[in-house]
Amino acid sequence: MTVEVEKQEVNQEEIDEAQKVIEGTEGPLKGMLVNYVGQVMRPEDGQVTVTMIVEAMASEFPEFLFVVARENFLRGYEQALVDVENVEKERTAKIKEDAVKIKAAEEKKIEAKYNKAKKENKKKSKSERVSKAS
């Protein structure tokens, strides 16, 4: 799944969540908001959604939404910085890991060349001894 598809799914989930009808009024503030927005917006089906409440707050109490939006932005920005830092750490660790693998492979190649040269030297020395003996 690509990042773009994931973003679309998350955005669709957020849209679905905002479109949900507010069920129940667990607290006095929630009840007051739902009733007020219902009276002001007068939805055809009589159901109040989160989107409606946000619209009402934006038009009648923008200072509140500004503070909420600002806090949300700052938290998102902070999380982005943390994510960037984590990605950099992962990249650095991967680069170090790759460097260790490359070094080990190079050492193995050098050792193989050394062992091959050593064997050739033994063969050469042996053949020289045989020719001197003859």
Query: What confidence score (pLDDT) does residue 14 get?
Result: 63
Q: Is 52 exposed, middle or buried (0-12, 13-18, 19+ CB in 10 A)?
A: buried
Residue 94 corresponds to which amino acid? Answer: K
The total number of structural domains in the chain stands at 2
Q: Are residues 53 and 112 in the same domain?
A: no
Q: What is the pTM for the complete model shown?
A: 0.52
Q: Are residues 68 and 134 in the same domain?
A: yes
Average per-residue pLDDT in the chain? 85
**How many Cβ atoms sit within 10 Å of the Cβ of residue 77?**
10
Residues in the chain: 134
Share of residues in the chain with pLDDT > 70 (%): 81
Given pLDDT bands bounded at 50, 70 and 90, which one contains residue 108? very high
The residue among 34 and 127 whose pLDDT is bigger is 34
Q: Are residues 66 and 126 in the same domain?
A: yes
Boundary of a domain, candidates 60, 82, 103: 60
| Residue 97 predicted with pLDDT over 80 | yes
Query: What confidence score (pLDDT) does residue 8 get?
Result: 57
Q: Are residues 134 and 74 in the same domain?
A: yes
Cα 31 to Cα 24: distance, rounded to the nearest angstrom: 8
Give the mean model confidence (pLDDT) for residues 42-49. 89
Q: Are residues 31 and 73 in the same domain?
A: no
- Could you read off the pLDDT of 6-40 as tens digits, one per residue? 555 656 666 666 566 777 667 888 889 999 999 99
- Could you read off the pLDDT of 54-85 as tens digits, one per residue? 999 999 999 999 999 999 999 999 999 999 99
Question: Residue 30 sits in which domain range?
Answer: 1-60
Q: Are residues 72 and 129 in the same domain?
A: yes
Q: Are residues 11 and 56 in the same domain?
A: yes
